Amino acid sequence: MDAVMEVDSATVTRATVSARVYADARKLFAAEIDDSALETQVTEVLETLWTESTKVMTFIPVLALRDLRDRIGSEGGRSNQL
């Protein structure tokens, strides 16, 4: 989670959060999953988080990376086939 930086709560939008989470996820998971599959995973994770009753939007990137780590880690060697 060290890749997660501080977020200005005034600039939290779906687009900015998506771009940030995708960039952070690429740094963390580039060796484990291809870009297309990673982008799909990021979209799915963020869609879930945005539809839940998340009270503090600045936590979404942290929650998204945690969920991605769980998803990609649980796939083991099949990660590129997501």
Angle subtended by helix axes 14-29 and 60-75, to nearest 10? 40
Give, as one character, the DSSP assignment of residue 68: H
List, for residues 34-72, the tens digit of each pLDDT value: 999 999 999 999 988 887 665 666 778 888 999 999 988
Q: How confident is the model at residue 53, as a pLDDT?
A: 64
Q: How confident is the model at residue 70, as a pLDDT?
A: 92
3-class DSSP state for residue 53? Answer: coil
**Residue 8 token pair:** 């200005």
Question: Does the pLDDT at position 19 exceed 80?
Answer: yes
- Between CA 61 and CA 63 the distance in angstroms is 5
Domain extent listing, the chain? 29-76
Q: What is the mean pLDDT of the chain?
A: 78
